[in-house]
Amino acid sequence: MANTRSGKAPAKTLQEQLPELRPGQSVDLLKALHILTRDGKLNQDSRRKLKQVYHLVQFIEPLIAAQHKERGAVTVVDHGAGKSYLGFILYDLVLKALDNGQVIGIETRSELVQSSQTLALQLGFERMAFHALSVEQAMTSDALPHKVDVVTALHACDTATDDAIGFGLKHQASAMVIVPCCQAEMASVIRRQKAFNLSRTPLSELWRHPLHAREFGSQITNVLRCLRLEASGYQVTVTELVGWEHSMKNELILAKRVGAPKAGAQQRIDDILAEMGVPAMASRFAGMAS
């Protein structure tokens, strides 16, 4: 209804102006992350980025809630955190409302770690911590707790994704949320074995051409990762995240620890590697559930 004195409509609330924002979302945080402009606007690129993070939060939020209900506390470790968009928004929307729980960001670039530490201090996000470590270094670092609850790895490049899974296994994570990126190692192994494979199995036509080798290597890498998790006692769901900036298609691997390893999962890993003619000692996947 129009304002009868001024003839102007009442000013819209922030939620009306920006219906994309989830209730309770800190505007100061989104401005600090440069998702919102200084005057509180969303450009097209930022709108897409926010939608992407919110999409991922939908999968992680119930995992955090379940762990908090069970243990009274929850520790989330975010590998390859970058500018920590995911970690900050998770804390702001989910962890901040809990009486206990923390988000730990792992990132190799020290300048990004420092800027994240500064922002967390400015916003009063006391239960956030950041460490300048590789995923491999985090595996044995005393700076991280022995037991963690949820491990995330958003586009940890190539074998860093496998290191993140290994970190989750070592630290007894109850759940892992993995979006793989740049799976190059298996493709390089396949290329080295191409001449041998072409002579022994018609299936090698799947990776005879370099482009197909890259795509098939990426596919088989993620299949082996899922089997690794199943062989380690996790229930695995794979879905697709559409429209992310890295490519037109991204896989989301969601793993929940159920305790009992899936029967035959490790044997399937070994059989796949044997069928492809990939030498066990040349592959990081051989015996990876041990």
- DSSP letter for each residue of 129-149: EEEE--HHHHTT-TTS-S--S
Residue 257, beta-bridge partner list:
234
Whole-structure pTM value? 0.85
**For residue 44, is pLDDT > 80?**
yes
Write down the pLDDT at residue 284: 57
Q: What are the distances in angstroms from CA 285 to CA 68, 208, 214, 254, 261?
A: 33, 21, 17, 19, 17
The pLDDT mean for the chain works out to: 85
Q: What is the mean pLDDT of residues 182-187?
A: 74
Query: pLDDT digits over 233-279, tens only?
Result: 999 999 987 655 554 457 899 999 998 999 999 999 888 888 776 66
For residue 58, what are the contacts with CB-CB under 8 A and spacing of at least 6?
A: none
Query: pLDDT digits over 77-122, tens only?
Result: 999 999 999 999 999 999 999 989 999 999 999 999 999 999 999 9
CA dist 247 and 11 (Å) reads 39
Its CATH class, for the domain covering 23-174, is alpha beta
- Among candidate residues 156, 148, 154, 144, the one with its CA nearest the CA of residue 175: 148
Residues counted in the chain: 290
Write down the pLDDT at residue 147: 92
Write down the pLDDT at residue 194: 66
Query: Where do the domains of the chain lie?
Result: 23-174, 183-236+261-290
Query: What angle (nearest 5°) sits at the alpha carbon of residue 25, between those of residues 19 and 27?
Result: 90
Residue with token string 């009868």: 4
pLDDT tier, 282 (very low <50, low <70, confident <90, very high otherwise):
very low
Q: What is the mean pLDDT of residues 42-50?
A: 86
Query: What angle (nearest 5°) sits at the alpha carbon of residue 205, between those of residues 202 and 211?
Result: 165
**For residue 290, is pLDDT > 50?**
no
For residue 199, what are the contacts with CB-CB under 8 A and spacing of at least 6?
A: none
Write down the pLDDT at residue 248: 41
